[in-house]
Structure formats: structure tokens, C-alpha cells
Amino acid sequence: MLWDPHYEPVIGLEVHAQLLTQSKAFCSCSTDFGAEPNSNVCPVCLGMPGVLPVLNKNHVEFVLRMGLATHCSVAPRSIFARKNYFYPDLPKGYQISQYEEPVCSNGSIEIEFGDGSKKTIGITRIHMEEDAGKSIHDQDASTLVDVNRCGVPLIEIVSEPDMRSPREAYLYMVKIRQLVTYLGICDGNMEEGSLRCDANVSVRKKGETRLGTKTEVKNMNSFRFVEKALEYEINRQIDLLEHGEKVVQETLLWDPDRSIAVPMRSKEEAHDYRYFPDPDLVPVFINEEWIMNVTSSLPEDPAVRRDRFVAEYRIPKYDAEILTEDKPLADFFEGVVGKLKVRNEESFKLASNWTMGDVLRVVNAEKIAISDFPVSTAHVAQMIDLITDGTISSKIAKEVFEEMLKTREAPGVVVERKGLVQVSDTGELERIVDEVLSDNGAQVESYLAGKTQVFGFLVGAAMKATKGKGNPKLVNELLRKKLEGRK
Ligand code: ADP
Ligand code: ZN
Ligand code: MG
């Protein structure tokens, strides 16, 4: 047991996603990551006196995508608020956010457990805000400030306190990342901070309906850390209660090196942000037409797509799960399937195997985007057709594939040029099989004496003699027939 079973953890997450817009939220500065420090900056995102922010329409477009994909209600009118605090990487002295009238609210996300059971997690709100800059604490104890990130558009997704275990929080984060990447609004990279999670957690005795005092854990830059930090914090809180002590409402920082959460600030020192409506920005009005346009442009939900793959292509759920983890991969698979000439369960499974196997292997090894994959979906489909129609064996296909990676030629061209057409001529194969049998007398004897496992060795020898081009099914059949004939 991970914690005392008399207690029930309650978890709510606040997730920030950095949006993939070209320019910042309220000015035309670039959002380019990794640019020279303090180069993407202007009087607006620095908050110079007298400047006026102008909202980036894509910021609204992107928050709508997420809001509508998570079944939120969209406010026809929402406003921006100033969240005031002092920090060296926030030259304006406030962040533009939304407070009282967020753009999206009352949504939900469905998570799915390993056994296929599902649970719905409520989304309290999703609002727009801008990011702050970055403080870089360097070795000689000085702090450098990079304001490039000031004004980069974010959305904050606030969940209801609906999760009951670190596992659920983990699955929820995985689902959020899958959604934002499917929607093309965020790259989902937790290590680089494009997706950040603050976890709120409390515990209560099982059966209790009131919520306990919560703490908030920050600074978790991977899904595993979210899970580990929550486990740690749940046990710490239960321990306090078991010793008759109280949980203090505070913010903690997860220290991955020591695997503990260290206090950052307590409720008494908590920020009072003095939110008030930003007088420089007009309300955002969203009409039905805009909502309808975004709704109709939403991609298929990844879980729906996965179930469709199983139903439509009859591939195992395991395959469909991997293929739909990421939209470009799912698109690649469907691109291949859509171009297959021979369309049956076998060719669909081959398309799945090649996409999950060789394609993904190369993509991961070369660290390239699937959209930059050197072999087109058309060529992969043609190669699979060559396997299903018996022109090449799966083994030769590996060789063809390697060659296509190098030369980008069509599989038919590679097969032709390298003379890789499978030998299905029974006469020729029979000659080869006979030769193999006479060259391996000892193995044949032991086969006949009942050691049937040498059959594999003989198949291997025969395939080798065909330089891998023998039709493996025919080679097997011929060998079996000849050996049985000698009994
Ligand atoms: P705060 O005002 O401290 O930011 P909010 O009410 O805005 O708190 O909630 C922030 C997050 O904390 C939400 O995701 C919410 O679901 C979660 N939360 C609120 N109360 C609790 C609680 N008692 N235990 C666990 N999570 C909670
Ligand atoms: Zn700017
Ligand atoms: Mg809050």
C-alpha cells in the first residue's frame, strides 16, 4: 500500500501550457524559444509607461480549441485582469491574466486506467494569461534576467478537486499533454517548461465529505515527478494527522534530487495579487460563429481515434494506443493505410507494425519530427503491397526499407535495382532445398530421429542459400515435405 488506506487523497491540478503562437499575447514580439536573451522584447511586453497592449487573436483561438475539446462553456464576454506582484523577471510589476470572467469554464476530461475503466475529471476553468520572464541563477551567485518570455501566451487549466490518487493525476497530465499537442496549441514539453503543473493535494478520512487543508506542490517537470511528489505529500500529510497535528496550508517545491517537497511559502506569506480588471484591454467577445468554426476544425479526439483504429482496421488496442499517442504518428499510419492497394486485416497490421516499429525507431534515434520522415507514406504503402502480394518477404522488406531511407527511391525501384524479388519458383527452390538436405546430413538424421527443433536450422540454411530471397512459406513447405518423405 502506498499510503494508509483509512485516508483518501484529494487532488486538483493547475496546468499552464505555453502556446505555439508566432507572436506574443499583447505585442508583435516573437515567441521564438532559445533566441538571444533579451532580444525579443518591446516597450509593450516590458510594460513601459503609456504603451497599450493589443490582444493576439490566436491566443483566443487556441484557448477556444482547448476549451471546446474539453467540453467547456465559452463565455460570450470575458475580461482580462492584472495580477500584481513584484519579481525581477516581471518588469511590468503585474501579469495580465483572467480572474473573474474567464473565457472557458465547466468542462471535463476523461481519463482511462490500464484496465480500460474510465473516470471523468471536472475542469473548473481555462483562462488566458501571459508568461513572466526567466531568472537564471548562475554559479557565482548572481542572477541574470531574460525577459524574452515576458508576454508569451499561456493558458491555465484548473481542474476540480476530483482526483483521488497520484496515478489519476498522472493520467490526467498525460491526457492534457495529448490534447494540447493534438490541438497543435502547445508542444507539450514538460522538461522545457512548455507544460507546467502545480498540484494541490489534501487528505481526509475515508467517508468524510468535507475537504481537508491543502498544500500546493510546484516545480515538477515530468509526469513521474508529479506522481512521486504527490505520493510523498500524501504520506507527509497523513503522518501529521496521525500524530494529532494539523496540515498547514502552504506552497512546497519538489526537490527531485532528494525526492522531498520543501516549503516555499505559507498562507500568511501568500501573495495578495490585488487583481483588478485591466483598464488597457477591452473585453473579449466571442460569438456563436467563432465557436462553431473552432468546433468544426477540432481534430478527432485521440481516445475516439484509438477506438476507431481498432474497429476500422482491426488492429490490437495496444497498437492503436501507441499509434494515437501522438497526432503526427496517427496521421502517418492513416496515410499509409489510406494508400494500400491490398486492404485487409493482414495489410493493416503490417502498416501498424511498420509505423510503430521501424518508422518510430528511426524517428526516435534520429530525433526527427515524423513530418520530416524521409520515406513517404506512399512508399511505405507500396512496400507493404509488395509484401502482401508476395513480391518480397518481410525480411527483404527490411533491406528495402533501409535503402529507401538512404535513397528515397520507391520500393519497386529498389527491388528492381538490387534484384530483390522473392523467389517463388518451386523448381528453383526445390533444387536449393535438396542441396541443403544433402549438405547437412547430420541435422537431417537427428530430425528424422525426432529432434524436430533442427527444422529451424534447416530453414535458415535454405533461406541463406537463396540469399534471403526465397519465399519463406514455400521454403518451409518444401523442406517439411521432403523430410516427411524420408521418414
Ligand atoms: P487557491 O485559491 O489556493 O488557488 P483554488 O480554489 O483556486 O485555490 O484551487 C486551486 C486548485 O486546487 C484547483 O485545482 C482545485 O481543484 C484544487 N483544490 C482546492 N481545494 C482543494 C483541497 N482541499 N484539496 C485538494 N485540492 C484542492
Ligand atoms: Zn513585445
Ligand atoms: Mg487559484
pLDDT band for position 166 (50/70/90)? very high
Q: For position 14, what pLDDT does the model report? A: 97
Q: What is the mean pLDDT of residues 396-424?
A: 91
CA of 372 to the centre of ligand 2 (A): 32
pLDDT band for position 160 (50/70/90)? very high
Whether ligand 1 lies within 6 angstroms of the CB of 65 is answered as: no
Query: Which CATH number describes the domain made up of 426-485?
Result: 1.10.10.410
Q: Which of 121-130, 275-284, 391-400 has the lowest average pLDDT?
A: 391-400
CA of 203 to the centre of ligand 3 (A): 18
- Domain positions in the chain are 7-293, 300-418, 426-485
Q: For position 1, what pLDDT does the model report? A: 55
* 17/153 Cα distance (integer angstroms): 9
Report the residue among 11, 200, 241 best suited for mutation to probe ligand 1: largest number of ligand atoms under 8 A from its CB.
Answer: 200
Whether ligand 1 lies within 6 angstroms of the CB of 214 is answered as: yes
**Number of the ligand 1 atom closest to the C-alpha atom of 158:** 14
Give the torsion through C-alpha atoms of 69, 285, 279, 155, to 10 deg: 10
pLDDT (tens digit per residue) in 87-116: 999 999 999 999 998 999 999 999 999 998
**Number of the ligand 1 atom closest to the C-alpha atom of 14:** 14
pLDDT (tens digit per residue) in 257-310: 999 999 987 766 667 899 999 999 999 999 999 999 999 999 999 999 999 999
Whether ligand 1 lies within 6 angstroms of the CB of 247 is answered as: no
Whether ligand 1 lies within 6 angstroms of the CB of 270 is answered as: no
Q: For position 426, what pLDDT does the model report? A: 81
pTM of this structure: 0.86
> Which residue CA neighbors atom 14 of ligand 1 most closely?
12
**Number of the ligand 1 atom closest to the C-alpha atom of 161:** 16
| Cell representation of residue 83 | 495580477
Query: Are 481 and 455 spatial neighbours (Cβ–Cβ below 8 Å)?
Result: no
* Cβ neighbours of 73 (radius 10 Å): 13
Question: Does residue 345 register a pLDDT over 70?
Answer: yes
Nearest to 378 by CA among 335, 334, 341: 335
Report percent pLDDT > 90 for the chain: 76
Q: Which residues contact 31 (CB under 8 A, 6 or more apart)?
A: 19, 20, 21, 22, 23, 24, 40, 152, 153
| Cell representation of residue 362 | 528511426
CA of 42 to the centre of ligand 2 (A): 4
Whether ligand 1 lies within 6 angstroms of the CB of 70 is answered as: no
Instruction: Say which ligand is closest to the CA of 270.
Output: 1
> Which residue CA neighbors atom 8 of ligand 1 most closely?
200
Supply the mean pLDDT for the chain: 93
Q: What is the mean pLDDT of residues 341-369?
A: 95
| Sequence-ordered strand ranges (E) for 288-365 | none
Whether ligand 1 lies within 6 angstroms of the CB of 160 is answered as: yes
Give the sign of the dihedral formed by CA 418, CA 409, CA 462, CA 358: positive
CA of 202 to the centre of ligand 1 (A): 9
Report percent pLDDT > 70 for the chain: 99
The CB-side HSE value for 128 (13 A sphere, CA atoms) comes to 31
pLDDT (tens digit per residue) in 240-254: 999 999 999 999 999
Question: Does residue 487 register a pLDDT over 80?
Answer: no
CA of 120 to the centre of ligand 1 (A): 17
CA of 168 to the centre of ligand 1 (A): 16
CA angle 360, 365, 367 (to 5 degrees): 90
pLDDT (tens digit per residue) in 447-473: 888 888 888 898 888 888 888 888 888
CA of 327 to the centre of ligand 2 (A): 32
pLDDT (tens digit per residue) in 204-215: 999 999 999 999
* 451/453 Cα distance (integer angstroms): 6
pLDDT (tens digit per residue) in 49-73: 999 999 999 999 999 999 999 999 9
Total residues belonging to the chain: 487
Using DSSP, state whether 186 is helix, strand or coil: coil
pLDDT (tens digit per residue) in 175-215: 999 999 999 999 999 999 999 999 999 999 999 999 999 99
* 474/469 Cα distance (integer angstroms): 11
Question: Does residue 80 register a pLDDT over 60?
Answer: yes
pLDDT (tens digit per residue) in 6-23: 999 999 999 999 999 999
Question: Does residue 74 register a pLDDT over 70?
Answer: yes
Query: Are 421 and 391 spatial neighbours (Cβ–Cβ below 8 Å)?
Result: yes
CA of 466 to the centre of ligand 2 (A): 67
Report the residue among 214, 233, 246 best suited for mutation to probe ligand 1: largest number of ligand atoms under 8 A from its CB.
Answer: 214
pLDDT (tens digit per residue) in 20-41: 999 999 999 999 988 999 999 9
